[in-house]
Chains A and B, each alone.
Chain A
Amino acid sequence: GEDVEQSLFLSVREGDSSVINCTYTDSSSTYLYWYKQEPGAGLQLLTYIFSNMDMKQDQRLTVLLNKKDKHLSLRIADTQTGDSAIYFCAEISGTYKYIFGTGTRLKVLA
């Protein structure tokens, strides 16, 4: 099927690291993306990774890619209350469509 799976909820304390996981479906996806959605808003592109990379770091964000297992993760260092949102991973399918994950709702506790 075309389901890109994520865990639904994650709760962390402010200052801790958050790790959001994603299992995608299309091994031929060239790029994989992470988006953030705040309440009542559209999606904001956070970062992306090229499929021939294992890791990409961008300030507080670290993306890890395991192509063999089709597993993608997003690590947010020093998580802040402003990071509370829903996070979506996305891949581009063979039919050139973006397939979004189910979304992970991150709650940061002060």
Chain B
Amino acid sequence: GAVVSQHPSRVICKSGTSVKIECRSLDFQATTMFWYRQFPKQSLMLMATSNEGSKATYEQGVEKDKFLINHASLTLSTLTVTSAHPEDSSFYICSANIIRQGESNEKLFFGSGTQLSVL
């Protein structure tokens, strides 16, 4: 079953408004979560690494004031797109690293994604 829950799955908003996307880890604690952005027919672009209890680490070229990340608990990270513009329209996906008991390597599990459309 799903280990990472993301919602909403789709959101349409007016230009200038803010949109919050939630990413929850189910049945495990995630000290680190990742936020990706995906343009149509393209690969995933890492936007930022969300760290529980501390500031997020943003990739080069990603505006931290535009894309606010909060990781206040071990099971929840949120991405807020502030003052959204049409060019922010995209597919946003969160993920979390998990090392399951008895396994030797970590695996990255993804949320189902959020399609943001800014009018």
- Nearest residue (CB) in A for B108 is A98
Is there an interface contact between A45 and B108, defined as CB atoms closer than 8 Å? yes
Interface on chain B toward A: helix, strand, loop, or mixed SS?
A: strand
Given the known interface contacts A40-B115, A42-B93, A43-B93, the answer about A88 and B109 at a Cβ–Cβ threshold of 8 Å is no
Q: Mark A34-63, 1 if CB is under 8 A from B, else 0.
A: 010000111111001010000000000000
- Which residues from chain B contact A68 at a C-beta distance below 8 Å? none
Chain B interface size band reads 20 to 34
B4, B41, B44, B49: the one contacting A100 at CB < 8 Å is B44
Is there an interface contact between B46 and A97, defined as CB atoms closer than 8 Å? yes
A30, A48, A97: the one contacting B107 at CB < 8 Å is A48
Q: Mark A14-45, 1 if CB is under 8 A from B, else 0.
A: 00000000000000001101010000111111
Chain A: interface residue total (CB-CB under 8 A): 21
Given the known interface contacts A33-B107, A33-B108, the answer about A100 and B113 at a Cβ–Cβ threshold of 8 Å is no
- Report B1-18 residues with CB < 8 Å from chain A CB: 4, 6, 9
Q: What is the CB-to-nearest-CB distance from A70 to chain B, in angstroms, rounded to a whole number?
A: 18
- Nearest residue (CB) in B for A98 is B108
- Nearest residue (CB) in B for A90 is B108
Is there an interface contact between B110 and A44, defined as CB atoms closer than 8 Å? yes
Given the known interface contacts A42-B93, A98-B46, A103-B42, the answer about A48 and B105 at a Cβ–Cβ threshold of 8 Å is yes
Is there an interface contact between B113 and A45, defined as CB atoms closer than 8 Å? no
Q: Please report the C-alpha to C-alpha distance between residue A103 and residue B103 in the assembled complex, in whole angstroms.
A: 27
Q: Mark A74-110, 1 if CB is under 8 A from B, else 0.
A: 0000000000000010100000011011110100000
B residues with a Cβ closer than 8 A to A are 4, 6, 9, 34, 41-44, 46, 49, 91, 93, 95, 105, 107-113, 115
A residues with a Cβ closer than 8 A to B are 30-31, 33, 35, 40-45, 48, 50, 88, 90, 97-98, 100-103, 105
